[in-house]
Amino acid sequence: MKPTDFSKSLTDFLSLYLPGEKGLSHNTICAYKYTFLLFLRFMQEKQSVKASKLMLKDITQERVVNFLDWLQSERHCSNSTRNARLAALHSFFRYLQYHNPVTLYEWQRILSIPTKKEEKPMMTYLTLDGIKLLLKQPDQSTPKGRRNLAMLSLMYDSGARVQEIIDLMPSSINFNQPYTIRITGKGNKKRIVPLMENQVNLLKEYMKCNRLLESYASKYPLFSNAQMQKLSRMGITLILKKYADLARAENPTLIPSNITPHVLRHSKAMHLLQAGVNLIYIRDFLGHTAVSTTEIYARADSKYKREALEKAYIGISKTDNKTDALWLKDGELLNWLKSF
């Protein structure tokens, strides 16, 4: 079978350009691959074009838009997921601009497809009491219970993303004081996160029982299934859901109805903020590129907002509470405010 220009371009894009020239991580490339798997499925099911026959000339702005609409109408994807798929496609067609410019006009039409505005849901996080209740649920008399307790408590204590937890190995942990863990985040960026002694003791006990402290196990997954393979995102989500359901049955006010692994990361960030830790330090702790990303926690915490406003107000006005504000006495200013 003769290869098509699309198959050649896509292969070079995924196997050479993204890892070589762009230096993207394995997880990001996998996300891009999945986008194109969905696109090929759409082209076959809805456009009657098989993957083996798909040519670059078959890809138009209209078909890409129809693909994005199909994601939302039939696969029920959110705007954020739609935008993520579009970002992967945009990256491919930006690549084609320089490597296959014959149909440059069509690539630019595709690149002009806008993202959709994403609704920002209210941030979900657990209180300290909620975290304590959740971590009380695993049965520590069983191997799985000890693994799950060590994993969930580490997810909270380190503020790590679920993929970062999946990728951890025994060699990631420094058992010499000060205790730390080396986390590889998005874009293969590494950061060192401190660990509390209680957390280290929990990890040591779990690792000792599973022979993960031995030198030959240094590159094994830190948390694995019965086949000694890495846990999946879904696997960790189901583990968390199991204990969240148990905790919710004990106290429904402390555990929200919808809880994901990222909620533990949010919870740690909020608790650091409420303890008075500077946003810059929280940014570094979480591995955010910019502090603007970390500011979502300050915006989400109403208590933090109120205290910040109260601190900002101190010393501004020393007049008696019964005294009218100065701007109320200024008729010209008051009229201007009313007309604004």
Could you list the active site residues?
A: 161, 186, 262, 265, 288, 297
CA distance 273 to 128: 13
CA distance 69 to 86: 11
Token representation of residue 187: 């874009």
Asked if 220 contacts 205 with a C-beta cutoff of 8 angstroms, the reply is no
Burial class (CB in 10 A: 0-12, 13-18, 19+), 44: middle
The secondary element (H helix, E strand) that includes residue 184 is: strand 180-184
CA distance 152 to 230: 15
In eight-state DSSP terms, residue 258 is: S
Question: From the CB of residue 199, how many other CB atoms can be counted at a distance below 10 Å?
Answer: 19
CA distance 119 to 117: 7
CA distance 132 to 126: 10
Give the gyration radius of the chain's Cα atoms. 26
Token representation of residue 98: 């320089």
CA distance 157 to 155: 6
